[in-house]
Amino acid sequence: MKDLEKAVQLFQDGEHSMVAVKNDKQWVTNGRGIKPLYQLVTGKPAFADGASIADKVIGKAAALLAVYGGIKAIYAELTTTTAHQVCERYGITLKYKKKVEAIENRDRTGLCPMEQLAKGETDPAKMLEKVKQFFENR
């Protein structure tokens, strides 16, 4: 778990929204929402495969992207029951500060858009396509 510990340390010490570490190499970003994880998985797939990440929020959609990208371990400030189930199913280590039933949208009037997209989805590749379409339509 050396990579995960380093990712958590960098995440907590810095101003980064997401940190990925693999074999002592690091990738950091300050993007919002699921976009940093999407960019890692699609833009740096060789780095993502086997990496450990630390992120603010990991919901079901993010967990499925992590599966698709081959992420081996995750630390989240906030996660969901369904993300936890996805990680357990696929053998991804998940450590977290707080677990909730669902992630709310930013104005707290309903589910986060990614949680809505992930409802009923179990296929990591299909989730990736849904996220891709979401970003293309914004």
Q: Beta-strand (E) ranges in 59-115?
A: 73-80, 93-100
Q: What is the pTM of this model?
A: 0.95
Number of domains in the chain: 1
Residue 12 and residue 63: Cα distance in Å, rounded? Answer: 20
Position 15 scores a pLDDT of 81
Q: What is the mean pLDDT of each run of 10 residues along the chain (138 residues)?
A: 93 91 94 95 98 97 98 98 98 97 92 94 97 93
Position 94 scores a pLDDT of 98
Residue 19 and residue 56: Cα distance in Å, rounded? Answer: 10
Position 1 scores a pLDDT of 67
Position 23 scores a pLDDT of 96
* Residue 94 domain boundaries: 2-136
The enclosing domain of 122 has a CATH number of 3.40.140.30
Torsion angle, CA of 78/58/85/24, rounded to 10 degrees? -100
